[in-house]
Amino acid sequence: MASLSLPTKIFLYPNSPSIQFQSQHRPPQRLTFPRNIKIICSATEQPQPQPQQQQPKKKKKNETESEKGVDPVGFLTKHGISHKAFAIFLRERHKALKDLKDEIFNRHINLRDMASGFEILGMHRHFEHRVDYMEWAPGARYCALIGDFNGWSPTENAAREGFFGHDDFGYWFIILEDKLREGEKPDELYFQQYNYVDDYDKGDSGVSIDEIFKKSNDDYWEPGEDRFVNNRFEVPAKLYEQLFGPNGPQTLEELEEIPDPETRYKAWKEQHKNDPPSNLPPYDVIDQGKEYDIFNVVSSPEWVKKVFAKKPPLEYWLETRKGRKAWLKKYTPGIPHGSKYRVYFNTPSGPLERVPAWATYVQPDIDGKQGFAVHWEPPPESAYKWKNTPPKVPKSLRIYECHVGISGSEPKVSSFNDFTEKVLPHVKEAGYNAIQLFGVVEHKDYFTVGYRVTNFYAVSSRYGTPDDFKRLVDEAHGLGLLVFLDIVHSYSAADEMVGLSLFDGSNDCYFHTGKRGHHKYWGTRMFKYGDPDVLHFLLSNLNWWVVEYQIDGFQFHSLSSMMYTHNGFASFTGDLEEYCNQYVDRDALLYLILANEILHVLHPNIVTIAEDATFYPGLCEPTSQGGLGFDYYVNLSVSEMWSSFLENVPDHEWSMSKIVSTLMGNKQHADKMLMYAENHNQSISGGKSFAEILFGESREDSQGLKQSLLRGCSLHKMIKLITFTIGGRAYMNFMGNEFGHPERVEFPMASNKLSFQLAKRRWDLLEKGMHRDLFSFDKDLMKLDENERILSRGLPNIHHVNDTTMVISYLRGPLLFIFNFHPTDSYEQYNVGVEEAGEYQVVLNTDETKFGGQGLIKDNQYLRRTISRRVDGLRNCLEVCLPSRTAQVYKLSRILRI
């Protein structure tokens, strides 16, 4: 909560009765809330009293509690960075963020409401036998729903500008009434509700409404208490009779002078002093000398307390709700489950049709036919029910990157169910603790790999239904795997029918106008992040995937495309001026800050990862300290370095210094790095996987082929090992690379005659030869982290980097890592420094025969004892055997006291 630096109170709807707020400036406070109640809570700090004074020091008028602990340039101060222009930019950005939040709170009750648009926009079933539809289209003049449920009529279910159904912000509202079956009568109560979703088999007792109300009154009121409720004129009539008698005056002329209230009150009390006790409410008239006191009738405190102690008869009111069986008997849905539909607009440019922006299930263009949305409202008995709870976020992430469509071994588009049954067990066996899915959100063109998103709230229908995807996530959680989504909010597809481009006929609905609204090189549309309604759409989209599908985290794709008006296509030298000049899109940065703040408050266990090729300063710093608030950032330089070495640099010219400096990145943020040797980018769009580069060149003679395979296998393992163990707390591997997939990925497109030949994975290779050996090594590598917690430890102490011998050595925790990248030179007794004196045991050796190696290091060489000699600036050293192109991992097994 400390990260939410709001100029006003924060409102939350807690998901649990107890919420823990942790601030780095004060001890944790536990706030307990009752369930199912709207909660207003403040994350602000209370003013602390000065020790010399009895009273707390008064705050200045312009200082709010929420500003305590907020420093817009805090991370610059922490790292000792001095850059005046960038500091001014951060302060101005912080002020703009406060102004933006003020604007948001003028429209939304709180930030949760801002990020929960999916609760009202799109299609939603209402209790009162109807479906409500809402859409944002400020440029339209007329809105209608058309589909197979109404014969695609643009007039049957519509709303017009100037009439109920359209507000000042451009939101359209249409009600689709359920249809009364022939012979059935409308409900007696106009507000009749139905248990359509929950407890759908209850509420059909057959008891009439009159019987329920009678039972409620009988149980709620004591004898006589409801007398004046049922006969509301009895009290004034009796009062009149008491004042004037049964034959009292009927006109003002007949009315004599009325005694004062006190006299009348005393006379009435005297008259009724001997009355027996009664359950009727006792009332008294209180006169304090004012003219209106004659009407000031109050009850006794005892009776008021008794009335307020009564609980409303809600259980009887709930009995008036009917169950789904009664609904099915009486009504047919206004829009049945599975109906195809689109939204129809009348605009200044003429009529047009669109797939709704908030649609949750979409069929894009198929066989030349226009796309449409599918109303997804399965019967409660067949809707997916979650079985497993998400696992806790581990201290280190071993992420398995996947694409569902290419996950099968056959040349076709694989489904969610195929992935669930075949790939998830493999991921679990391989030792990873998270999967990251890309290409899941709906996109029209399969060959775009899923990055040109058309429908942001829909899972791709080519893989299955929304319930199929829920099952995938649920089964992954059951296996202990987190599920991350590669989310693309940095741009959008330029399609109009199924996308958001020109959605309401105008050019400035979701995107910028003119050149700024188009990506310079990719032909995609650029969001208008400064528009509150666009923010509402995007922030709600993030929350939607967590609430609806229980997603555990997001990797934000290609942030450089959105953070700069040049879309990241510029030369960067690292000067901070490049991150605060006129080419920086401040609105995009504010969106990212809001996204991280809201996600981490609403879902404390969420993980956010930034993919930014420009390494924007403060990516993973707290938003309260001027950062963007991400948990991890991707070090994109690593895979590019390995690709460059493998393809362009001879083995004996590899620079050990460059390898180490690239892998370590910025030491100040190294623990926040997500590292990978290669991801899907290396093998898609004409590229090659590392295995294809290493094993693709065949030799004419068998000896040459053997040497080529040995080289490729050795380098493949060493690259994986050093990338995994030298960096931060997160590592990622693309599906198939763990066993050296020998082929690139190529999606079906016109250039390959729509072939699926390379849009699949060769799982059969796991059963034999080199690929089986590489997989064995990768499993042992994951197991090493599971047992020794390598990634979650502090950064390594890199004490030996020799470009001549091509040897790298470093310590991380109790483990010593040694690499010999030299293509020909082996070392029988190579000295590397260690701090602790003792015995070191080999726990992982890339040259073992079970990993496809030669087994040059014998079993009696696996245990080494230190020598008391200062090497590499450390007190002791080890003499180890280092065959060429091998690496060993040693663990201190016994400490020697000298």
- Active-site residue set: 611
Q: How far is it, in rounded angstroms, from Cα 767 to Cα 838? A: 40
CB 43 within 8 A of CB 25: no
- Torsion over CA: 642, 648, 652, 655 (sign): negative
Q: What is the DSSP letter of 871?
A: B
Beta-carbon contacts of residue 872 (< 8 Å; ≥ 6 apart)? 799, 800, 809, 832, 833
Distance, CA of 194 to CA of 60 (rounded, Å): 54
> The tokens of 857 are what?
């290091």
Cβ proximity of 109 and 11 under 8 Å: yes
Strands 453-459 and 283-285, sheet pairing: unpaired
Reference 819, options 730, 724, 733, 883; nearest CA is 883
737 contacts 671 by C-beta, under 8 angstroms: no
| Distance separating alpha carbons of residues 320 and 192, to the nearest angstrom | 7
Query: Residues near 113 by Cβ (< 8 Å), separated by ≥ 6?
Result: 11
Q: Where are the beta strands (DSSP E) in 45-196?
A: 122-126, 130-136, 142-147, 158-160, 171-177, 179-180, 194-195
CA distance 809 to 337: 62
Q: In the numeric block, which tokens belong to residue 536?
A: 């509402």
Rg (CA), the chain: 36
**CB 324, CB 302: distance < 8 Å:** no
Q: What is the C-alpha to C-alpha distance for residues 176 and 125, in angstroms, rounded to an integer?
A: 9
DSSP H helical ranges for 419-481: 424-430, 466-478
Alpha helices in 245-323 (DSSP H): 261-271, 301-308, 314-319
Identify any residues that bridge with 146 across adjacent strands, giving them in sequence order: 342
Report the DSSP pairing between strands 331-332 and 340-347: unpaired
Tokens of 397: 């992430």
Does residue 143 contact residue 504 with C-beta atoms inside 8 Å?
no
CB half-sphere exposure, 833, CA atoms < 13 A: 14
The packing angle between helices 84-107 and 586-602, to 10°, is: 60
Question: How many alpha carbons lie under 13 Å from residue 138 in its C-beta half-sphere?
Answer: 12
One-letter amino acid for residue 510 of the chain: Y
Give the DSSP H/E element, type plus range, for residue 119: none
